Amino acid sequence: MDFLRPATWADALAAKAARPGALPLQGGTDVMVELNFDVRRPAALLDLSGIAELRDWEEDGPVLRIGAGVPYARIIDELGARLPGLAQAARTVGSPQIRNRGTLGGNLGAASPAGDGHPPLLAGGAAVEVESAARGVRTIPVGDFFTGVKRNALESDELIRAVRVPPAPGPQYFAKIGTRNAMVIAVCSFALALDPVRRAVGTGVGSAGPTPLRAAAAEEFLAARLDWAGRGPLDAGVAREFGELVRAAAAPIDDVRGTAAYRRHALSVLARRTLGWAWDEHRADTAREAS
Ligand SMILES: Cc1cc2nc3c(=O)[nH]c(=O)nc-3n(C[C@H](O)[C@H](O)[C@H](O)COP(=O)(O)OP(=O)(O)OC[C@H]3O[C@@H](n4cnc5c(N)ncnc54)[C@H](O)[C@@H]3O)c2cc1C
Distance CA 63, CA 156 (A): 27
The 23-25 sheet, strands edge to edge: 2-4, 44-47, 23-25
Distance CA 64, CA 75 (A): 11
Q: Calculate ∠ Cα 267-271-277, nearest 5°.
A: 140
pTM of the model: 0.98
Is the CB–ligand 1 distance for residue 29 below 6 Å?
yes
Please state which CATH number belongs to domain 2-110+127-165.
Answer: 3.30.465.10
Whether 182 has a pLDDT exceeding 90, the answer reads no
| Residue 181: band (very low, low, confident or very high) from pLDDT cuts 50, 70, 90 | confident
- 117 CA: nearest ligand 1 atom: 11
- 109 CA: nearest ligand 1 atom: 34
Average pLDDT on 38-67 reads: 97
Q: What percent of the chain has pLDDT over 70?
A: 100
Query: What is the whole-number distance in angstroms between the Cα of residue 71 and the centre of ligand 1?
Result: 10
Name the residue type at position 93: V
Distance CA 221, CA 242 (A): 7
Query: What is the whole-number distance in angstroms between the Cα of residue 166 and the centre of ligand 1?
Result: 23
- 26 CA: nearest ligand 1 atom: 30
Question: Which strand (E) or helix (H) includes residue 278?
Answer: helix 260-290
Residues in the chain: 291
CATH 3.30.465.10 boundaries in the chain: 2-110+127-165
Is the CB–ligand 1 distance for residue 85 below 6 Å?
no
Is the CB–ligand 1 distance for residue 206 below 6 Å?
no
| Residue 282: band (very low, low, confident or very high) from pLDDT cuts 50, 70, 90 | very high
Contact 103/71 with Cβ under 8 angstroms? yes
Average pLDDT on 173-201 reads: 95
Q: Which of 29, 131, 138, 140 to mutate to test the pocket of ligand 1 (most atoms within 8 A of CB)?
A: 29
Contact 128/67 with Cβ under 8 angstroms? no
Whether 230 has a pLDDT exceeding 90, the answer reads no
Whether 54 has a pLDDT exceeding 90, the answer reads yes
Query: What is the whole-number distance in angstroms between the Cα of residue 64 and the centre of ligand 1?
Result: 21
What angle, rounded to 10 degrees, do the helices at 236-249 and 260-290 form? 140
Please state which CATH number belongs to domain 172-290.
Answer: 3.30.390.50
| Residue 231: band (very low, low, confident or very high) from pLDDT cuts 50, 70, 90 | confident
Name the residue type at position 279: W
pLDDT score recorded for residue 195:
98
Average pLDDT on 24-39 reads: 97
Average pLDDT on 72-95 reads: 98
- 34 CA: nearest ligand 1 atom: 29
Is the CB–ligand 1 distance for residue 163 below 6 Å?
no
Q: What is the mean pLDDT of the chain?
A: 97
Is the CB–ligand 1 distance for residue 28 below 6 Å?
yes
